[in-house]
Structure 1
Amino acid sequence: MAEKEPHLNGSYPGPSIPPPNQEDKHKSRGCFCCLFGCLWKTIVALILIIVLAIFICWLILQPRMFKVHITDAKLTQFNFTNNNNNLQYKLDLNITLRNPNKKMAIYFDKIEANAFYEGQRFDTENLTIWGFKVERKSTHFLNATFAGQQWMELGANELDFNEEKSVGVYSIDLKCYLRIRFRIGDFIGGDHKPKVKCGLKVPLSSNGNLSTARFETTRCDVHLF
């Protein structure tokens, strides 16, 4: 007769699992902190190197924004008829672009000139057909002509028009949108899109006779961004 297996009370003790090694945990955590610290120091060092390189380039090149002046403006027609809200105009402008930089040439790929009166645009002209380059310490001359007629609704601003008509001097704004590139040696920078704004006080000349007012050379505001 086979012997019975002895009855076991309670659970059978299995193989013992050693507790996790706390020293290994500290080592892995220390390695992670060390890696993160090295990565952070590398990023900070790269940022400092880039900032230092930009500062050194700025000291060497000393870049300056180009300057725009309206040297002459001739307004031979500026008539508004309120029965059909029609503005008839003819405006000629002489514009100078000055590159004051000693080490950078400037490519003007696009100049879109917009003429405004009382906040309303009445004409747009493209002043660059093929584009041009202004060399270092050089000045380029442009002519812009706005002529034609445009529907406008002056509304309450018609009082301002009548007042300026009695004086013979009109407040006309010129806003230009450009696309330019900078050249330093053989390197040509990417496209930049500065904006130019000129607030003009233009006297009206009719039948070839100038009014007592004279146009004064006006410096325009140039914003790279």
Structure 2
Amino acid sequence: MRTQTEIPIQYHPQERLTKRQRTRYYAHQVTESLRSRVFKLICTIFLSLLFFVGVILFVLWLSLRPHRPRFYVREFSIPGLNQDNGFQTSDMYFNVTIRNPNQNVGIYFDTMEGSVYYSDQRIGVTPLPFPFYQPPKNTVSVDGVLGGASLTVSDENLRLIMADRAMGVVVFRLDLTSKIRFKVATWQGRHHKMHTSCNVEVGPDGQILPTSKNKRCSIYFY
């Protein structure tokens, strides 16, 4: 006669525990849950603080990040250009405005030199009256004069200049080289060498043409 195999009764693990053991088990579960919640809370607070600090630093960086100064040629003239033999003895005059666009950053201009080029050959150079400090959101005017006797124009360039004059336009290049420092509150940065290049078109009368007046110059740091 076949005997029926008895299937053991399955008990839930907690049903096998004593009352004391179940109390310990639940206490452990509660403790682990509290630890997990505290850890998550600490992580949330830390990440929130990190986010707000990052936003504040980003805003400060945007407001204090130095922007390059802006240069514009307002005047450029060679009165002797309208005379056949007057160019070599005539003075060159130029006026450049410098704009500091920064809201909270000042600029120290420690040195500056102006040079005039024709066909990539320098024909005159002059030091400019510096140093000076330019406050934020400020515009200054810089004047320069190159004496005719100090101009070094080769016979070939003089011939080309006279040919351009006959065509109605003579193109020169005004370069300004300087050393500058940025200033934020009481902090001053290191020196930066700056090169400003301005192409200037001059008419037969030696005066700057409207196409070049108030034209923004290119700026390079090196």
> Would you say same fold, with TM above 0.5?
yes
Corresponding residue for residue 123 of structure 1: 124
- Which has the higher mean CA deviation after the structures are superposed, 146-155 or 60-69? 146-155
Question: 1: distance between equivalents of 2:97 and 2:188?
Answer: 23
Identity across matched positions, percent:
23
Q: How far apart are 1:111 and its partner, in Å?
A: 0.8
Corresponding residue for residue 9 of structure 1: none
The TM-score, its normalising length taken from structure 1, stands at 0.63
Whether 1:68 and 2:71 are equivalent positions in the alignment is yes
Corresponding residue for residue 147 of structure 1: 147
Q: How far apart are 1:152 and its partner, in Å?
A: 3.0
Instruction: Give the match's secondary structure for 2:165.
Output: helix
Does the Cα contact within 8 Å between 2:73 and 2:95 map onto a contact in 1? yes
Corresponding residue for residue 21 of structure 1: none
Greater strand percent: which structure? 1
The structure whose Rg is larger is 2
Corresponding residue for residue 189 of structure 1: 189
Question: 1: distance between equivalents of 2:200 and 2:129?
Answer: 22
Greater helix percent: which structure? 2
Corresponding residue for residue 94 of structure 1: 95
1:82-136 C-alpha deviation (Å, 9 max, x unpaired) = xxxx93332211110000000100011111111111222121111134x111110
Does the Cα contact within 8 Å between 2:174 and 2:197 map onto a contact in 1? yes
Runs of 4+ in 1 over 6 A off after TM superposition: none
Corresponding residue for residue 171 of structure 1: 171
Corresponding residue for residue 133 of structure 1: 133
Question: Over aligned residues, Cα RMSD in angstroms?
Answer: 2.7
Question: 2: distance between equivalents of 1:70 and 1:190?
Answer: 27
Q: How far apart are 1:161 and its partner, in Å?
A: 2.2
Instruction: Give the match's secondary structure for 1:136.
Output: coil
Matched letter for residue 144 of structure 1: G
Whether 1:202 and 2:205 are equivalent positions in the alignment is no
Structure 1 alignment gaps of length 5 or more: 1-51
Total equivalences in the alignment: 162
The TM-score, its normalising length taken from structure 2, stands at 0.64
Q: How far apart are 1:60 and its partner, in Å?
A: 3.7
Matched letter for residue 98 of structure 1: R
Q: How far apart are 1:197 and its partner, in Å?
A: 0.4
Matched letter for residue 100 of structure 1: P
1:1-20 C-alpha deviation (Å, 9 max, x unpaired) = xxxxxxxxxxxxxxxxxxxx
Corresponding residue for residue 111 of structure 2: 110
Question: 2: distance between equivalents of 1:111 and 1:80?
Answer: 32
Question: 2: distance between equivalents of 1:217 and 1:98?
Answer: 12
- Which has the higher mean CA deviation after the structures are superposed, 178-187 or 195-204? 195-204
Structure 2 alignment gaps of length 5 or more: 1-53
